[in-house]
A and B are shown apart, each in its own frame.
Chain A
Amino acid sequence: MKGLLIKDFLILKNQGKLLALALLVYSIIAFSSGNADMVTTMLFVVSVIMPVTAIAYDEKSRWERYALATALNRRDLVLSKYLFGGLCIVCGMLLGILFTLAAEKGSAAVLLPRLRMLVVAACVGMVVQSVNLPIVFHFGVEKGRIAMLLVIAGTAALQFYLGQVGIQVSGSLFSNMPLVLYVVIAAVSFGLSIVVSNIIYSKKEF
């Protein structure tokens, strides 16, 4: 398991130059505008898609077939991607907090809601990964991306339909939710997603 995480982070390191450049550009914008939203958004998006990127590299080199022939088992492979995804989100969130504190000036009353938003974004990221990873494990990265787009389109269509029939899904419902509830939802969705991915992966042939 540790070996798998090291491999994924080593691959991430190889993308480091590109990420560092993007971070630098967004940082300049953040510090000159006094608003870290762009940096935190970038960090959020990158950390959410990182496990899928790692799976794409695995698929390219047919790593999974080899890894399963080593001392690893299927559960190790599944769990490592969730751990990697979770660690990326935590790193992204911590970096986002640092940037917010460094770039934005204001009282605690102004900063605290913004920091809360970062934690919420991390929890949402975990939920997105929870939906995304089983799809990618089942369909592979290429088909998985299409399937994920269909899920997003389906969700938007459902929201539109609910609006048409008079059921409004209010944004304030989510914004007023206690932070701990976000964390619980993220943890539960991650747990359920791991169970589903394990079932999918146990049936896969390589």
Chain B
Amino acid sequence: MENVLEVRKLRKKYDSFELQDISLDLPRGSIMGFVGQNGAGKTTAIKLILNLIRADAGEIKIFGEKHNALDRKLKEQIGVVFDECNFPEYLTAKDIILVMKNIYRSFQVERFDKLLDSLKLPKNKPIKEFSRGMKMKLSIAVALSHGAKLLILDEPTSGLDPIVRDEVLDLFLEFIQDEDCAILVSSHIISDLEKVADYITFIHEGKIIFSENKDRLLEEYGVLKCSHHDFEQIDKTKVLGYRENQFSVAALIRKKDVPKGFLVEQASIEEIMLFMTRGERAS
């Protein structure tokens, strides 16, 4: 499967934070959820991909072309939404058409108009009078209106109510119907990504913990629940993280490593992340 985005051993060092050897592949026709807690490095990685900051090391390829060749033609094919609306607030949606059609050669006014109608966004109202949800929908409408093949979205659903979030997720699913397209979407709202993502990349303290097919993740990992006594019998090298209370222990484990006679429950993406980062490790 051809990759729309390839990132290899990307590094960026700041005084108080370091992004270390970030690698990921985003295949054509898929949505990748980029997850991690606030400050984990999601936005820094996205900024590196978009050439807004410079990497200390590593390689990025978009549509097979090297990152430093991020020319106009290539950028026309990338739709971007950040965690806030970046249009000056005195502008209206009508003004945005005038601006964006002179920025993107491929800006489709009709498509944008249709999106404004379907998302119930007013054309002549200044953006400063929009709610946060409306602002985000406007940003997404622009990203979907210039024939982009790759959407890079940084926390597009944060701060939105569940109904607007659902509307936005539907737009992503509609976009991905074209199998040439792909989406990299960062979020810390795991439930959103569980709904739409094909791949999950989990970043923690500047390092990629895993970057996997979502279904494979759900198939591979399970939560084993047992007594303290039973837990003592388990090979601790197979335990990826555990939590214990007075009565029992819950441990994240690969299903293939579950000893006979033990039962495991399905692990959610959120549980996998929590066990891997906050769970205790057997020494």
Binding site for B on A (CB under 8 A): 2-4, 6-7, 10-11, 14, 57-58, 60-63, 65-73, 205-206
Interface 0/1 of B33-75, CB less than 8 Å to A: 0000000000000010011111000000000000000001001
Q: Using known A-B contacts A3-B101, A7-B99, A71-B105, determine if residue A66 contacts B89 with beta carbons closer than 8 Å.
A: no
Q: Are B87 and A63 in contact, CB atoms less than 8 angstroms apart? A: yes
Q: Are A69 and B50 in contact, CB atoms less than 8 angstroms apart? A: yes
Q: Which of B50, B52, B53, B103 has the most CB of A within 10 A?
A: B103
Q: Which residues of the other chain, A, contact B51 by a CB distance below 8 angstroms?
A: 68
Q: Which residues of the other chain, A, contact B262 by a CB distance below 8 angstroms?
A: none
8 Å CB interface, B89-110 against A: 89-91, 95, 98-105
Q: Are B91 and A63 in contact, CB atoms less than 8 angstroms apart? A: no
Consensus secondary structure, chain A interface: helix
B251 within 8 A of A: no
B84 within 8 A of A: yes
Q: Which residues of the other chain, B, contact A206 by a CB distance below 8 angstroms?
A: 47, 52-53
Question: How many residue pairs between the two chains, A and B, have CB atoms under 8 Å in the bound complex?
Answer: 81
Q: Are A73 and B72 in contact, CB atoms less than 8 angstroms apart? A: yes
B78 within 8 A of A: yes
Bound CA span A179–B193, Å: 65
Contact of B86 among A3, A10, A63, A205 (CB under 8 A): A63
B85 within 8 A of A: yes
Contact of A68 among B52, B104, B126 (CB under 8 A): B52
CB of A1 to closest CB in B, whole Å: 8
Consensus secondary structure, chain B interface: loop
Bound CA span A58–B100, Å: 15
Q: Which residues of the other chain, A, contact B53 by a CB distance below 8 angstroms?
A: 205-206
Q: Which residues of the other chain, A, contact B89 by a CB distance below 8 angstroms?
A: 60-61
Q: Are A62 and B91 in contact, CB atoms less than 8 angstroms apart? A: no
List 12 A-B pairs, Cβ < 8 Å: A3-B102, A4-B103, A10-B99, A11-B88, A61-B85, A61-B88, A62-B86, A68-B50, A69-B75, A69-B78, A70-B75, A206-B52
Q: Are A10 and B80 in contact, CB atoms less than 8 angstroms apart? A: no
Q: Are B102 and A6 in contact, CB atoms less than 8 angstroms apart? A: yes
Bound CA span A154–B86, Å: 37
CB of A167 to closest CB in B, whole Å: 46
Q: Which residues of the other chain, B, contact A60 by a CB distance below 8 angstroms?
A: 88-89
Q: Which 4 residue pairs are nearest across A and B when measured between Cβ atoms?
A: A3-B102, A66-B86, A3-B103, A14-B90
B76 within 8 A of A: yes
Q: Which residue of A lies closest to B87 (CB)?
A: A61
